Structure 1
Amino acid sequence: MASLHSTHGTTHKPESITLSELRSEFSHHDPTIARLNNGSFGCCPSSIISAQQRYQLLFLRQPDYFYYNTLKPSILKSRRIIQELINADHVDEVSIVDNVTTAAAIVLQHYTWSFFSSSFQPGDAAIILHHSYSAVKKAVQAYISRAGGHVIEVPIPFPVKSDDEIILEFQNALQMAKLNGRKIRLALIDHITSMPSVIIPVKELVKMCREEGVDRIFVDGAQAIGHVEIDVKDIGADFYTSNLHKWLFCPPSAAFLYCKMSDELSNMHHLVISHEYGNGLAMESGWVGTRDYSAQLVLPEVMEFVRRFEGGIEGIMSRNHEKVMEMADMLSEAWGTELGAPSEMCSSMVMVGMPACLGIKSGEDALKLRTHLRECFGVEVHMYYRAPIEREVDPVTGYARISHQVYNTVEDYHRFRDAVNKLVKDGLTCSLLPN
């Protein structure tokens, strides 16, 4: 990952953040909740919220001046920071959008027109992972399936032991897709799946797609920036997107869409057509009408914040991974269960098996347990249901997705451990929980 020290014209090293300052930065978090679910909505420090409010007040104070003199150069500054973070060649390859769902819709809409214009034939395929994020899968259905495209889902094993298992399943799916002479027009690959959470070997899958003649490759890195290293040139995909508000401390909502420089980029457009139409996707994305753009403007302040931690964002990512693995091992040992993936396939989120005696037998059970933990024990954690495989004996079908971010403490995980231990001791099962 590129160095951040020259990202926005500053060379000084800010003072290291103290423990009391760190607590103050997240003092707006509900103190009664052990927050182990950073992956869903992320977090935003108080200093970044203050920076956002300054931008909001600047706009409200004199909207015309802000629009003509502040907004465009500020968005460009944020785009340049993202360009450096992801190692893109050109700033024009980087657009800022609301979220990954928006980015996916921009790419998928572009390919829908290829079916309508007869560049693609009915039955041409798009390939996605079975564990792709639900909203993105529905977008694929809405854009590709309705246009006559064929959608192929790659089954991903879980629990998973190695990258090789995923690579083999993906290779098999590509071969099956081509049996009838079908052309694969788009591959949509997650960098980190959301549920269950696993780091996908994207570089290897992208290389495989190139070798098998897949037209275009789109990597959904919704959870990635600030979470794992991103080098778009090394990954080699045509499109890459990630949310800035998940693990990079921005307020919601802000994300980027990287589009590799090509003639095709000039034909891509934002979903909302406004005054910048025809001036390139980055410019179109920078103005979609009157709205609050402040979450997209605070990247310089975010970079100052992360530089206060030893090693900057790289140090934060490394420590988050170490801590979450330590806590995951502690929980699995306490409950006599296993993790859903080895350490090298985990980031700052880990899937921890839940005690089988809790009776998690459906997605509804997982949601009921999650709600019960929140309302009765003050623990916020994502739950996943895995259907048992045939002939499994006493299978672990429930997994908790725990995360670690800079605000978390050991006590958060101890509270979760003790809550589950109490449920087991009391003989509570999901069938006894209210809907």
Structure 2
Amino acid sequence: MRDEHFLFSGSYVPLNHGSYGAFPAAVRTYQRSLQDQTESRSDAFIRFKAPSLLLESRTAIAGLLQVPRQTVVFVPNATTGVNTVLRNLSWADGDVIVYLSTAYGACEKTILHICETTPATSVRIDVSFPIEDDDLVDLFRLRAQGIAAQQGKRVKVAMFDTVCTFPGVRLPWEALVEACKAEGVLSLIDGAHGIGHIDLFDLGQVDPDFFTSNCYKWLFTPRPCAIFYVPTRHHHLIRTTYPTSHGFKPSQERQIPTAASSDSDYLGELFKWAATVDMSPYLSTLEALRFRSNVCGGEAAIENYCFDLAQQGGKRMAQLLETEVMDNRNAKLSQCCFAMVRLPLRFASDTVSTTDRVMDRRSEATRGGIEYNQQLLPPERGPEFVKTIMDKLRDEHDTWIPMKFYSGAIWFRISAQVYLEMADLEWAAGVLSKLCKELPGSASGS
């Protein structure tokens, strides 16, 4: 799959699909044909042909999500989708935006900017993983109720991920949407790791108030490309694209569709021409879906393969390193294409994992082939070790694995994809073991 259909360098081991995605050679060829058509007759293509192709792409994506076409449009990325919602809403004194501490950095900064420039305020809910799904939902519900109990305060919107960027774990976003409905809160779902990754076939049934998801990460489209879903009942809230462009109508000219006029394509017209951009990534969605169906066997086959590789591969890497995979008791956090595995480095920290407790009872001082000094590593060096390891992965081993010093340990995130197999993950575990040995402070390091 990797050699025949994708475009990676022969020496590169692509273990970080989650950050920027990857698209097949067939999709690249299709995209370039669209770009060639644009250059050969720009007016004919951009003005007349591209809009019909865009409508076809929207129809295909809507079919994949099982929602009306009128509720789905394309935007460059999920950050744009989040900005579009937050900057279209009207904010008054007492309005509160709630979000989790695992929110993507750009989206958190958007919230902070909204709070600097409008009367809105924000509440950041600190979450430490692993956490049980029910506990996370209860934590949100109690915090929302606590805010509502304050005079003059109300939670207007809550933002959640489908799958967090880091740690790479799946959130109970469906249950959080239900909790928002119960509390009278608008739900804004950052599904950056959503479409092509997890099962979104019931998006219309879950019925979030706003949902955005990157297609270039997991759906095999070129960059930039994302979908933005707004149910008809909220079309009146989305007045403009960002940047504001041709689709905007002043208040006196607007005609917002109602549920009874669901055949209106208000959202599509608003987003159809949001400034002059290269639309080929949006239009290549059709070819990406054809590749997923014809070459990969369809959405279910891709999901099954990637989920299995992430879960079994994560366990195998943890076995080789003699550490652990991040998960909760019901194994819900790992229901995605990421595997979160801990490096075999022990830090002097209040956070002690289950594996550390087990290892403390062992007589031997070696784990995963790495010998440790009696003295634990100082936690303030955790970020330094992360940078050292990641630099060597890039410069000496031609790969990239995201990792962070998190909760008193170094965790890394592996992305499972159809072009990878178990041998790739076993190779990565061996490389990581070697690099940990070389760190200053380990028994074999300088």
Q: Distance in 1 between matches of 2:323 and 2:399?
A: 20
Displacement of 1:364: 4.7
Partner residue of 2:294?
308
Select which of 24, 42, 51 maps to 2:4: 24
Question: 2:339 aligns to what?
Answer: 350
TM-score (norm 1): 0.85
> Which string of whole-angstrom CA distances, capped at 9 and with x for unpartnered residues, describes residues 279-298 of structure 1?
83322322123221100001
Contact 2:169–2:333 (CA<8 Å) still a contact in 1? Answer: yes
Q: Deviations over 1:155-178 (max 9, x none)?
A: 222133x31231232223213322
Could you tell me which of 314, 318, 325 is aligned with 1:339?
325
**Which one of 37, 51, 57 corresponds to residue 72 of structure 1?**
51
- Give the superposed CA RMSD: 2.2
Match of 2:86 among 105, 108, 112: 108
1:369-380 equivalences in 2 (<5 Å) = 369-380=389-400
Q: How does 1:39-188 map to 2 (within 5 A)?
A: 39-88=18-67, 90-111=68-89, 114-115=90-91, 120-121=92-93, 123-160=94-131, 162-181=132-151, 182-188=153-159
| Aligned counterparts of 1:273 and 1:223: Cα–Cα separation in 2 | 27
Q: CA deviation at 1:144?
A: 3.6
Partners of 1:251 and 1:295 within 8 A in 2: yes
- 1:33-53 per-position Cα deviation (integer Å, ceiling 9, x unaligned): 221110000011000001000
Question: Which ranges in structure 2 are unaligned for 5 or more consecutive residues?
Answer: 255-265, 348-376
Q: Which structure's CA Rg is the greater one?
A: 2
Return the offset for 1:345. Answer: 2.0
CA contact (8 A) 1:96 1:256 kept: yes
Aligned 8 A contact 1:332 1:339 in 2:
yes
Cα pair distance change 1:310/1:245, threshold 3 Å: closer
Give runs of aligned pairs for residues 325-336 of structure 1, distance below 5 A: 325-336=311-322
For 1:8, the equivalent position in structure 2 comes to none
Q: Would you say 1:219 and 2:199 are equivalent positions? A: no
Match of 1:283 among 269, 282, 298: 269
Q: How many residues align?
A: 394
The verdict on how the C-alpha distance between 1:379 and 1:310 changes in structure 2, with shifts beyond 3 A counting, is closer
1:228 corresponds in structure 2 to: 198
Deviation track 1:56-113 (CA, whole Å, cap 9, x = no partner) reads: 010000011002221111111111111111121x2121110100111111101012xx
Deviations 1:376-406 (A, max 9, x none): 2223111022133xxxxxxxx1101001111
* Distance in 2 separating the partners of 1:84 and 1:176: 40
Distance, in Å, in 1 between the alignment partners of 2:441 and 2:240 is 50
What residue is the counterpart of 1:411 in the other structure? 423
Corresponding residue number in structure 2 for 1:13: none
Partners of 2:280 and 2:428 lie apart in 1 by: 35
Unaligned runs of 5+ in 1: 1-18, 389-396
| In 2: Cα distance, 1:55 partner to 1:277 partner | 27
8 Å CA contact retained: 1:125, 1:152 = yes
